[in-house]
A and B are shown apart, each in its own frame.
Chain A
Amino acid sequence: MEATIATENTADGTWAGGSNKPLGASYGKMMMWFFILSDALTFSGFLAGYGLMRFKFIDSWPIADEVFTHVPFIHGHYPMYYVALMTFILIFSSVTMVLAVDAGHQMKKAKVTLYMLLTIVGGLIFLGSQAWEWKNFINGTYGSLVLEDGKIVQFVDDAGHLIALEDFVTKSPTNQRVEHTRTNGLWFVKDAGAIPPYTVNEVVESFKNSPNVNLRTEQLNHDLKKKVVLSREEANQFLAKATGVVKGANLKINEYGHTLFGDFFFFITGFHGFHVFTGILINIIIFFNVIIGTYERRGSYEMVEKVGLYWHFVDLVWVFVFTFFYLV
């Protein structure tokens, strides 16, 4: 009976969770671990869902190296570099967090403060980097055509590298369609969405006039791990089915291929980004608690350790997102 009586264990105050220490862990730390376990299962559910859809469309899944190629201030095709940088930022902020926990064990308030601050800054840099990555993904790189059955076709040069629509498409002088806004027309009428930079006709005509531009389907050649490039005649048959120009990505369509690729990207990195965001908020709260000396008075910096667990978990999840979205 003794174990079930809560009132007996208040000697150490609410935040110590009483003197019961099942499995040698304090109440708060244990619950943080069980929360992390359940959250890990949530994330693995998402990643497994991504895996399910990827295996379902294994013949036509987009190649991540061709999607995430931007590096700030540099033009060109640089896969992996930016996301590698983001990974390092997050790992480093994990290091400063664990240093804060370590300093907390030794009751060094000044050090804990400094390392917590560095962790928060690292988290903010990571969030900003992710926003930039989203911006590039949403704005798109090359532009492509969508066929009537939803398939995406892209344009490549003779070497097989993707080329942007603006590199070979000429705008016809009669095409002057601009996006309708409330200020220049009926206020209650809205355009269905952003108007693509070119019309289907302009792209098709320009393609016919550019012999060194080739059409590429979503289909993957599994032996070479490359997308299939069409012959000229096949390309014309494909282009006859084109219904729209796609630039960039949203939840309904994206220029890189399968809609689900974009959906999972937004969903999983978004959910992870939300975790980073809440982690930063909790870190800030604990940071101010450290400054005003709450834990100094409490005699233990265990709270820093608990929030540290959450922060490391966010890093842990990113390790897997990085692998399954960018590497594999």
Chain B
Amino acid sequence: MTHNQEHEHESHVGLIWKVFGFLSLITIIEVVLGIIKPDSLHLGKFLGTSYLNLIFIILTLVKAYGIAWYFMHLKDEKTSFRRAIVWTGVFLICYLSTLVLIEGNYIGDVMREFTRWSY
């Protein structure tokens, strides 16, 4: 291997600032929604949680994608390497959180009958 790759790198500064603007925009949307908490989104229920929470989670995943793909240069890695990292993580995290949250919900249901709210 020779040192051939160093000098052909063009600068990505423009792209970096664009991604920063995008991440900032998402954060601002999250914060504004978090402060206002519009009742229509906050009190509605869908898939076991409120619309607002689902919006937050989706925006967070978009943000994570932006950081991993552009800041961590995953998009420049070989597809096989990228999959080794992303698929492993995504699969295990989905697996873990699904089981654990279902279990937590079940414990909560059982405990509800044994919790006193009057004296």
Q: Which residues of A contact B (CB under 8 A)?
A: 11-12, 16, 19, 21, 23-25, 30, 33-34, 36-37, 40-41, 44-45, 47-49, 51-60, 65, 79-81, 84, 87-88, 91-92, 94-95, 97-99, 101-102, 105-107, 149, 217, 219, 223-225, 228, 234, 237-238, 240-241, 299-300, 305, 308-309, 312-313, 315-316, 319-320, 322-323, 326-328
Known: A54-B104, A102-B16, A312-B71. A12 touches B1 (CB 8 A): yes
> How close is B116's CB to chain A, nearest CB, in angstroms?
8
Nearest residue (CB) in B for A105 is: B9
Tell me, in angstroms, the Cα distance from A130 to B71 when the chains sit together: 23
Q: Which residues of A have CB within 8 Å of B111?
A: 56-57
Is there an interface contact between B57 and A55, defined as CB atoms closer than 8 Å? no
Is there an interface contact between B71 and A55, defined as CB atoms closer than 8 Å? no
**Could you list some 25 contacts between A and B, CB below 8 A?**
A23-B77, A25-B81, A33-B81, A41-B92, A47-B97, A51-B101, A52-B100, A52-B101, A52-B104, A54-B104, A55-B105, A56-B111, A65-B37, A79-B34, A80-B31, A95-B17, A95-B71, A98-B16, A102-B11, A102-B16, A106-B11, A224-B43, A299-B6, A320-B64, A328-B49
Tell me, in angstroms, the Cα distance from A12 to B5 when the chains sit together: 15
Is there an interface contact between B100 and A327, defined as CB atoms closer than 8 Å? no
Interface residues of B in 79-111 (CB under 8 A from A): 80-81, 84-85, 88-89, 92-93, 96-97, 100-101, 103-105, 107-108, 111
> How close is A49's CB to chain B, nearest CB, in angstroms?
7
Is there an interface contact between A19 and B34, defined as CB atoms closer than 8 Å? no
Tell me, in angstroms, the Cα distance from A25 to B74 when the chains sit together: 11
Tell me, in angstroms, the Cα distance from A271 to B119 when the chains sit together: 39
Is there an interface contact between A99 and B16, defined as CB atoms closer than 8 Å? yes
Give the one of B31, B97, B105 with max A CB within 10 A. B31
Q: Which residues of A have CB within 8 Å of B1?
A: 11-12, 16, 19, 21
CB < 8 Å: which of A21, A53, A98, A240 contacts B104?
A53
Q: Which residues of B have CB within 8 Å of A309?
A: 72
Is there an interface contact between A59 and B108, defined as CB atoms closer than 8 Å? yes
Tell me, in angstroms, the Cα distance from A201 to B86 when the chains sit together: 57
Q: Which residues of B have CB within 8 Å of A234?
A: 118-119
Interface of B is mostly: helix
Is there an interface contact between B85 and A33, defined as CB atoms closer than 8 Å? yes
Nearest residue (CB) in A for B28 is: A84
Q: Which residues of A have CB within 8 Å of B16?
A: 95, 98-99, 102
Is there an interface contact between A327 and B56, defined as CB atoms closer than 8 Å? yes
Q: Number of B residues whose C-beta is below 8 Å from A?
A: 61
Is there an interface contact between B11 and A319, defined as CB atoms closer than 8 Å? no
Is there an interface contact between A56 and B43, defined as CB atoms closer than 8 Å? no
Is there an interface contact between B119 and A240, defined as CB atoms closer than 8 Å? yes
> How close is B100's CB to chain A, nearest CB, in angstroms?
4
Tell me, in angstroms, the Cα distance from A266 to B35 when the chains sit together: 23
Tell me, in angstroms, the Cα distance from A105 to B111 when the chains sit together: 57
> How close is A203's CB to chain B, nearest CB, in angstroms?
17
Tell me, in angstroms, the Cα distance from A12 to B51 when the chains sit together: 54
Tell me, in angstroms, the Cα distance from A60 to B116 when the chains sit together: 12
> How close is B103's CB to chain A, nearest CB, in angstroms?
6
Nearest residue (CB) in A for B116 is: A149
CB < 8 Å: which of A57, A102, A238 contacts B108?
A57
14 further A-B contacts with Cβ under 8 Å, apart from A107-B6, A322-B60, A327-B53, are A11-B1, A19-B1, A23-B77, A23-B78, A23-B81, A54-B104, A60-B115, A65-B37, A84-B27, A91-B24, A107-B7, A224-B43, A225-B42, A305-B73
Tell me, in angstroms, the Cα distance from A217 to B34 when the chains sit together: 23
Tell me, in angstroms, the Cα distance from A322 to B104 when the chains sit together: 21
Tell me, in angstroms, the Cα distance from A119 to B63 when the chains sit together: 20
Tell me, in angstroms, the Cα distance from A193 to B71 when the chains sit together: 47
Q: What are the nearest 5 A-B pairs in CB distance?
A: A55-B104, A23-B81, A105-B9, A52-B104, A24-B78
